[in-house]
Structure 1
Amino acid sequence: MRLNITYENHIPINAFRWTPSRELQPLHYHSSLEIGLCVSGSGIFYFGEKRYRVAVGDIFIVNNRELHIAQSDKSNPSTYIFINFDPRLLLDEEESLLLPFAYSSDHFDNRITSASPLSAPIGALIEKMWRELDAKQDGYLSMAKSALLELCVLLLRHYSTRMSKLEWKRMNDTFRRLRPALAILEDRFREPLELTDIANALLISPSRASHLFQEELGRSFKDYLLQLRINEAKRLLISTNLSAADVCFESGFQSIPSFYRLFKSAVGISPLDYRSKYSVHAIIENPIQ
């Protein structure tokens, strides 16, 4: 089962507390990357056929392809702080930060136990992001993003020492191959763009390009392109006075009806409702009494 993740902020990071059900629920996956910290209780965390006993202080790494679900113990229900974020946040900074999330499920240990020396510093950063995104004081998004980047550097250093040199080289090579394609998408997502344009840039067949997107990013070329356009539409809606029609075409959509339909499907509300809820202009023009 795939879950659609929406972000409350124009920087795509969410933080939330969650207590899993005591009954085992269906496994799911989502396009966001996820890091969870158990802050109380106990339970089990399932990743496909893998299962981990959970204790306070344990940290779990979840990529955008792996089926997973947490379950609470009936007598001692667990509570987590989870961080969800869009992979593009790391790609825009340094693509190697994505490598810890590009794992092969069968050979990857999703858990960093509370006994690990890495648990305390990563747990502190997760709690910092949760506090910043909850309190929403001045500069909170910059603080949350800074903490996320520091956390991902710690993960990169941790997992790079645990993988074979051959596997680490393969993952690095894949990202180096994808980077030109992603740069084209970032530069030209406002224009009509096809998978063949990306395949030509990579000097591979369209079918191979499609496979690379799905395998390495956990989403199709069309889904990745759509997310770029949705993110740009969000930015324009909350930071400009452009009409919805102008936002539609400025962010790369080819028709107004499809823009409204796809935006609402991805975000959960219409473009105008999104502007009303999150616009800086709306906040300034309608101050809290």
Structure 2
Amino acid sequence: MRLTITYENHIPINAFRWTPSPELEPLHYHSSLEIGLCISGSGFFYFGEKRYRVAAGDIFIVNNRELHIAQSAECDPSTYIFINFDPRLLLGEEESLLLPFAYSSDHFDNRMTSASPLSAPIGALIEKVWYELDAKQDGYLSMAKSALLELCVLLLRHYSTGMSKLEWKRMSDSFRRMRPALAILEERFREPLELTDMADALHISPSRASHLFQQELGRSFKDYLLQLRINEAKRLLISTNLSAADVCFESGFQSIPSFYRLFKSIAGISPLDYRSKFSVCAIIENTRQ
């Protein structure tokens, strides 16, 4: 389920307090980036097939593609402060600030626990953004934006420390170099796309574009496009009631037999088995066990 995010101010930042339901609700995604701070209680936070236990002080990072939902513990409801903001806000300041949100879902830890040394300063900045947007004192938008940018700089420095300077520079350069092609892929992966479309976006030859995909992303253009389509199929299977055939075509596949074959080769199970295993109802049953 896609949520439409609207912003109350000309600077595209929202902040709000929220207590999730103890009943597990459908997973959703939205075009905004999101950072959440659990300020009390306990429960779970779901990101697609991943599930995290939640405690006060934990921080969660959500990009604009990943399905997610929080759930409160029945006898200890959790309360969060969430910040939503438009990715273009960071792009207009310093595009490297987007790097922590350009994660690969399968290998990324969305949770920063309260035990992390960075949890307290980031949590304080989340609370500051919420306070400024709620109190609306003179200059509050500038203060909220300033706190958000500081927060994102801390995230950038945190994730960059796990790599050598050379590795981080390579990742940053790769992000900048490939961004035009990746933007087209994320927007149009449901359509028929060819390597020549990527070459045109990057203003290079198709052979050079093929080399860049392999060199910078560690996979071919076809493999990257296939993964986007498989991820979309997973999202539709667990968040909608569409038939497997409809999921096939909505995800960009042109043939139902090839969809079933490719999905199983990557996910390890068939599309319908995937729905049975990771649907909201299945997650609820697993939680109760």
Query: Aligned residue for 1:172?
Result: 172
* Structure 1 unmatched ranges of 5 or more: 183-195, 219-289
Q: Which residue of 2 aligns with 1:133?
A: 133
**Deviating 4+ runs (over 3 angstroms):** 163-171, 178-182, 196-201
Q: Which residue of 1 aligns with 2:67?
A: 67
Give distance in 2, aligned partners of 1:73 and 1:164.
40
Kindly provide the amino acid, as one letter, of the partner of residue 74 in structure 2: K
**Which whole-Å CA distance do the structure 2 matches of 1:27 and 1:171 have between them?**
30
Deviations 1:110-148 (A, max 9, x none): 111111110110000000000000011111110000000
Give the superposition deviation at 1:201: 5.4
Map of 2:107 onto structure 1? 107
Cα displacement (A) at 1:176: 1.4
Equivalent positions of 1:156-167 (< 5 A) are 156-163=156-163
Cα offset, 1:174, TM superposition: 3.6
1:85 matched to which residue of 2? 85
Paired residues of 1:35 and 1:62 also in contact (CA < 8 A): yes
The alpha-carbon deviation at position 63 of structure 1 amounts to 0.5
Is contact 1:37-1:80 (8 Å) kept?
yes
Count, aligned residues? 202
Kindly report which structure 2 residues correspond to 1:1-150, keeping only aligned pairs within 5 A, or say none.
1-150=1-150
Q: 1:152: which partner in 2? A: 152
Measure how far apart 1:197 and its partner are.
10
Offset from partner CA, 1:159-217 (integer Å, 9 cap, x none): 112357787456423431256789xxxxxxxxxxxxx99964521579x99x89x97xx
Partner of 2:98, secondary structure, is helix
* TM-score, normalisation: structure 2: 0.63
- Secondary structure at 1:17 match in 2: strand
CA positional deviation for 1:150 = 0.3
Contact 1:95 1:175 in 2 (8 A): no
CA-to-partner distance for each residue in 1:220-270, whole Å, 9 max, x for gaps?
Answer: xxxxxxxxxxxxxxxxxxxxxxxxxxxxxxxxxxxxxxxxxxxxxxxxxxx
Alpha-carbon distance between aligned partners in 1 of 2:180 and 2:74, rounded to the nearest angstrom: 49
Any idea what SS the aligned residue of 1:157 has? helix
Q: How far apart, CA to CA, are the structure 2 residues paired with 1:136 and 1:176? A: 36
Give distance in 1, aligned partners of 2:105 and 2:155.
16
For residues 21 and 174 of structure 2, what CA distance do their matches in structure 1 show? Answer: 38
In structure 1, what is the equivalent of residue 203 of structure 2? 203
Measure how far apart 1:107 and its partner are: 1.0
Which residue number corresponds to residue 257 of structure 1?
none
Alpha-carbon contact 1:19-1:78 (below 8 Å) kept: yes
Residue aligning to 2:249: none
Worse-matched range after superposition: 173-182 or 114-123: 173-182
User: Aligned in 2, Cα 1:197/1:134: closer, same or farther, shift over 3 Å?
Assistant: farther
Residue aligned with 1:38, SS: strand
Q: Aligned residues: percent identity?
A: 86
Partners in 2 of 1:154 and 1:29 — Cα distance? Answer: 24
- Distance in 2 (CA, whole Å) between partners of 1:181 and 1:33 is 20
Residues 57 and 90 (structure 1), Cα distance of their counterparts in 2 relative to 1, 3 Å cut: same
Give the whole-Å Cα distance in 2 for the aligned partners of 1:151 and 1:181.
28
SS at 1:176 equivalent:
helix
